[in-house]
Structure 1
Amino acid sequence: MSLPLLFLFVLAIAALGFFVGRSRAFKSADGDIKVLHSLPGYYGWNAALMVLLPAIAVLMLWLSIQPVIINNNVSAMISEHAIAESSLDLVMSDVIRVAEGLDIAVEKGAMTAGQASSIRTELTDVRTRLGSVGVALGSEVSSETLKAAQRYREMSSFGHLGRTVLVLAVAFAGLAFGYSRSHKDFRARNVVEQVVLWILILAASIAVLTTVGIVFSLIFNTIEFFKLYPAADFFFGLTWSPSFGGGSELGILPLMWATFYISLIALAVAVPIGLFAAIYLSEYAGSTVRAFAKPMLEVLAGIPTIVYGLFALMTVGPLLVDAFGQDGAFGVNWMQGGTAVMTAGLVMGIMLIPFVSSLSDDIINAVPQAMRDGSLGLGATHSETIKQVILPAALPGVVGAVLLAASRAIGETMIVVLGAGAAARLSGNPFEAMTTVTAKIVSQLTGDQDFASPEALVAFALGMTLFVITLCLNIFALYIVRKYREQYE
């Protein structure tokens, strides 16, 4: 049974548990709801949770253990000669690819299950046979790889069967247990609320532990990098010139300069436009205009960043060259090509407008109407009320919006890859091509890299640096928010 179908079966059993648990509780009370300790729905949810939670726990445990057992068993069939010629990971990927190809061939009727289990390379061109059903293999299939793939299919099939039987057995056992507890004196509400509490704690723990895992992953790999490359040269070096053949210069300053330069230009575009748009929509626009303009503005937030990157490369860059190039409208020669800091900054600023405007609009609307009425009642004009009352009161939220936009700008990748260029340099000319930290993280980890080399590990050091900078920005913004919040509360 496939995994989605198995999950649907578990859900169906849980639904059945809900109705039978609720029904049995009613029956034990002779149909009198006043006799029940809890509302009828709690008895149903108790039975449903007794099905869902153990079954899903067993399913997740099985899904985590089965691949490890199968890979360890199948990898033992791989000879040392094959591993020496390539690597165990590459050989195992070929084995899995062939196993999946045999499954596809059986599904399409190109061969029977028995043929897939008994096929031999000495009698059949496996690569051609699988290619006829749309499975492309990069090299000829060896006898050793085919036998390992057949073993992989056999163990996977047995594992899927065992998974189905065990999960369904646990689900039905949970159904029986939940049904047996559904009687009028059972404290179903207490149990259900306690279970929900633990589910919420688990969800919060997953979020926290994921963050901790990311941080520790960055820390450990950054430490490995600094064991291979001097920290002083990394943080204070003025040249970025990686070379996987050796002799790399990995100074971060050119990348940090471009990152902040592009971010400042983006914020210079996004903050005024976004804030003014928020003020207009919240304080001046009528309901008809607001109902149309706000959704249209927020459409910008849903556009993929790769589309913004193409817009920068194909539209904004050529327009800037036409204006500031040698033969441009202004007759200057500031911009040699379409990729430049200004190109990426302008497009990124357009992308950030909805982040600033939407959050600022929400926080401005949250300012109590009594503050507006009091200001107007004392004789202030509408514009004076906005400037002297509403904006100061909304300042903490506006700072948060700007911070979100700044963090988004610092972490942006695709726009700077396509719009800013790939040159790592220190320059104050916004019409020159430069590159950022995120763009270099992508380039350093693209392709088959040796993660024991400083040229690959430097990506983690770059990521850790960005993390620390963003954390400092958040701490500073929190300080500003608390300071001004105390003034206006």
Structure 2
Amino acid sequence: MTPAIATYGVLLLSVFGYLLGLRWALRLEAGRVRAMHSRPYYHGMWVALCMLLPAVIFLLAGLALKSFVPEWIVVRGLPADYMEGKRASLVAARLWSIANEQFGVSNVQPLEQAAADRLVWLNKLADWIIGLGALVISILMGLYALRPIDRAFQARNATERIFLWILIACSAVAILTTVGIVFTLIFDSLRFFAMVSPTEFFFGLNWRPITAIREGQLGQEGSFGFIPVLVGTTQIAMLAMLVAGPIGLFSAIYMVEFAPHGVRSTAKPVIEVLAGIPTVVYGFFAATLVAPLVRDFGESLGIPSSSESALAAGAVMGIMIIPFVSSLSDDVISSVPGRLRQAAYSLGATRGETIVRVVLPAALPGLVSAMVLATSRAIGETMIVVMAAGLAANLTLNPFEAVTTITVQITTVLTGDQPFDSPMTLSAFALALALFAITLMLNLFALQVMERYRDQYD
């Protein structure tokens, strides 16, 4: 029995439990609604939740244990002379390759074949234990949930408490995931800084993350200066916001303050279609059309230009971000109370003066949040930069030259055959930690602006 079949079985049992609890409560109700503390469907939900949640928790815990327990049992049972000088994870991977007959594994010893067969058997046994255990737990919990159902049973309160704990668990998962990401970045970044000086990383002017794969290999000394990557990221993000900020804000002002209803209902969805276009399409558009035009324009001005440039990537990225700025700004400006506009008109202010002196100051905290969110979106973009700005970490302020960004370099250093514990690979975690710090500072700046300029309009 596979875990998928067990999951479907638990879901079917939960549906059956809901119907059974509902029917049980309807019989008790017998036309007297006020005699029951809770409506019948609450009793059905109580039974269904009791059957579903414990079984799902058992399934998840079983799958988590199954991912390493069979391997641990088999690897631990291998002779010590065979395991001498070998890593347990590599041995387990070889056994799985033998069991699945993948990658053309050669020189298979009888000992390894026997261990691979045992690993497959233990894996199947774990599937049956997990599947049958989940079904048994679901049935037993259904019987337990049916016992307290009567006219006085507070099924509504019990069901709401279960949903409350589900919401708390979901919030805890989000928080723990964030904490786990932060600690992973910190620990692996510390491993990187044990190999590369933090001074060299944060103040170095050359980014060339190439390290020797084999001991004694020449010509592979890497440089891990963060400044060129930071400058490229900042440059492209600023260019993107110079395009997206004014266009998105002005389009939102027009949609809210000037556009007729027919124009708004047509133009707003058209603008938001830009948000649904895949970034690879934007990258292809930037590489094939925008980048050559930017290069020709720069050469006509006598400026050194490249076929891949920060200006091309920033301009196309700004077009991509316009829907974020426009939609968020539209919502913020629309939320400004109408009585503020009416008060300004009653004092003789024109529509333009009302927008500039009343509406925009009232919407300032939300507009700042919209700009910060759009900036974070620009900083985190990868595909457009790869296709339109290139991979070269050039320290230049010329927007017509090729540059790179933090996210592009994270993608680059994590691909290839480089060992995981090499400075080149670990530099990705240092870059990610720096990117996390940059976005955190942007969010803190937005919060400070909101706290400083937020007004209450009662």
* Fold match by TM threshold 0.5: yes
The separation in 1 between residues aligned to 2:86 and 2:143, in whole angstroms, is 53
> Structure 1 residue aligned with 2:108, among 142, 157, 179?
142
1:108 is matched with: none
The separation in 1 between residues aligned to 2:335 and 2:275, in whole angstroms, is 22
Greater mean alpha carbon deviation, residues 241-250 or residues 400-409: 241-250
Given residue 384 of structure 2, which amino acid in structure 1 is its aligned partner? I
Counterpart mapping for 1:191-210 below 5 A: 191-210=158-177
- In the alignment, structure 1 residue 332 sits paired with structure 2 residue 299: no
**Residue ranges of structure 2 left out of the alignment (5+ in a row):** 213-219
**How far has the Cα of 1:464 moved from its partner?**
0.8
Counterpart mapping for 1:372-383 below 5 A: 372-383=341-352
SS in 1 for 2:129: helix
The separation in 2 between residues aligned to 1:140 and 1:313, in whole angstroms, is 45
Q: 1:473 to 1:37 in 2, by over 3 A?
A: same
Deviation per residue, 1:279-328 (Å, 9 max, x gap)? 11122222222222111211211222222222221221122223223xxx
SS in 2 for 1:243: coil
Percent of pairs identical after alignment? 42
1:297 is matched with: 271
Task: Judge conservation of contact 2:337–2:457 (CA < 8 Å) in 1.
Answer: no
Greater mean alpha carbon deviation, residues 38-47 or residues 150-159: 150-159
1:36 is matched with: 36
> Structure 2 residue aligned with 1:390, among 351, 359, 384?
359
- In the alignment, structure 1 residue 268 sits paired with structure 2 residue 242: yes
Given residue 236 of structure 2, which amino acid in structure 1 is its aligned partner? I
The separation in 1 between residues aligned to 2:416 and 2:81, in whole angstroms, is 25
**How far has the Cα of 1:234 moved from its partner?**
1.2
1:5 is matched with: 5
The separation in 2 between residues aligned to 1:286 and 1:99, in whole angstroms, is 68
1:177 is matched with: 144
The separation in 1 between residues aligned to 2:289 and 2:107, in whole angstroms, is 48
1:188 is matched with: 155
RMSD (CA atoms) = 2.3
The separation in 2 between residues aligned to 1:445 and 1:153, in whole angstroms, is 32
Q: 1:191 to 1:428 in 2, by over 3 A?
A: same
Given residue 469 of structure 1, which amino acid in structure 2 is its aligned partner? I
2:215 is matched with: none
- In the alignment, structure 1 residue 211 sits paired with structure 2 residue 185: no
Q: Tell me the TM-score normalized by structure 2.
A: 0.92
Deviation per residue, 1:1-21 (Å, 9 max, x gap)? 333332222111111111211
SS in 2 for 1:182: coil
- In the alignment, structure 1 residue 349 sits paired with structure 2 residue 337: no
Given residue 275 of structure 2, which amino acid in structure 1 is its aligned partner? A
2:62 is matched with: 62
Task: Judge conservation of contact 2:341–2:359 (CA < 8 Å) in 1.
Answer: yes
- In the alignment, structure 1 residue 71 sits paired with structure 2 residue 41: no
Task: Judge conservation of contact 1:341–1:430 (CA < 8 Å) in 2.
Answer: yes
SS in 1 for 2:248: helix
Task: Judge conservation of contact 2:3–2:130 (CA < 8 Å) in 1.
Answer: no
Task: Judge conservation of contact 1:449–1:456 (CA < 8 Å) in 2.
Answer: yes
1:256 is matched with: 230
SS in 1 for 2:455: helix
Q: 1:483 to 1:370 in 2, by over 3 A?
A: same
1:168 is matched with: 135
Task: Judge conservation of contact 2:97–2:105 (CA < 8 Å) in 1.
Answer: no
The separation in 1 between residues aligned to 2:456 and 2:171, in whole angstroms, is 33
SS in 1 for 2:454: helix
Counterpart mapping for 1:102-181 below 5 A: 137-140=103-106, 142-144=108-110, 146-181=113-148
Greater mean alpha carbon deviation, residues 86-95 or residues 191-200: 86-95
**How far has the Cα of 1:98 moved from its partner?**
5.0
The separation in 2 between residues aligned to 1:315 and 1:94, in whole angstroms, is 48
Q: Tell me the TM-score normalized by structure 1.
A: 0.86
Task: Judge conservation of contact 1:26–1:40 (CA < 8 Å) in 2.
Answer: yes
Counterpart mapping for 1:18-33 below 5 A: 18-33=18-33
1:437 is matched with: 406
1:130 is matched with: none
SS in 1 for 2:290: helix
The separation in 2 between residues aligned to 1:99 and 1:287, in whole angstroms, is 65
- In the alignment, structure 1 residue 323 sits paired with structure 2 residue 297: yes
Task: Judge conservation of contact 1:342–1:430 (CA < 8 Å) in 2.
Answer: yes
Task: Judge conservation of contact 1:352–1:405 (CA < 8 Å) in 2.
Answer: yes
Q: 1:81 to 1:377 in 2, by over 3 A?
A: farther
The separation in 2 between residues aligned to 1:316 and 1:466, in whole angstroms, is 27
**How far has the Cα of 1:448 moved from its partner?**
2.7
Q: 1:424 to 1:84 in 2, by over 3 A?
A: farther
Task: Judge conservation of contact 1:26–1:184 (CA < 8 Å) in 2.
Answer: no
Greater mean alpha carbon deviation, residues 479-488 or residues 158-167: 479-488
Q: 1:40 to 1:488 in 2, by over 3 A?
A: closer
- In the alignment, structure 1 residue 366 sits paired with structure 2 residue 335: yes
The separation in 2 between residues aligned to 1:343 and 1:83, in whole angstroms, is 55
Task: Judge conservation of contact 1:421–1:435 (CA < 8 Å) in 2.
Answer: yes
Task: Judge conservation of contact 1:52–1:171 (CA < 8 Å) in 2.
Answer: yes
- In the alignment, structure 1 residue 408 sits paired with structure 2 residue 360: no
Greater mean alpha carbon deviation, residues 462-471 or residues 137-146: 137-146
Task: Judge conservation of contact 2:38–2:156 (CA < 8 Å) in 1.
Answer: yes
**How far has the Cα of 1:143 moved from its partner?**
4.6
**Residue ranges of structure 1 left out of the alignment (5+ in a row):** 102-135
> Structure 2 residue aligned with 1:311, among 259, 282, 285?
285
The separation in 2 between residues aligned to 1:36 and 1:149, in whole angstroms, is 59
**How far has the Cα of 1:22 moved from its partner?**
2.2
Task: Judge conservation of contact 2:2–2:128 (CA < 8 Å) in 1.
Answer: no
Task: Judge conservation of contact 1:344–1:419 (CA < 8 Å) in 2.
Answer: yes
> Structure 2 residue aligned with 1:461, among 422, 426, 430?
430
SS in 2 for 1:450: coil
Task: Judge conservation of contact 2:203–2:225 (CA < 8 Å) in 1.
Answer: yes
1:419 is matched with: 388
Given residue 26 of structure 1, which amino acid in structure 2 is its aligned partner? L
The separation in 2 between residues aligned to 1:282 and 1:84, in whole angstroms, is 72
**How far has the Cα of 1:447 moved from its partner?**
1.9
Task: Judge conservation of contact 1:266–1:349 (CA < 8 Å) in 2.
Answer: yes
The separation in 2 between residues aligned to 1:427 and 1:76, in whole angstroms, is 56
The separation in 2 between residues aligned to 1:86 and 1:139, in whole angstroms, is 17
Deviation per residue, 1:19-54 (Å, 9 max, x gap)? 211222333344422111112221111111110111
Task: Judge conservation of contact 2:5–2:131 (CA < 8 Å) in 1.
Answer: no
**How far has the Cα of 1:255 moved from its partner?**
0.8
2:419 is matched with: 450
> Structure 2 residue aligned with 1:231, among 169, 177, 198?
198
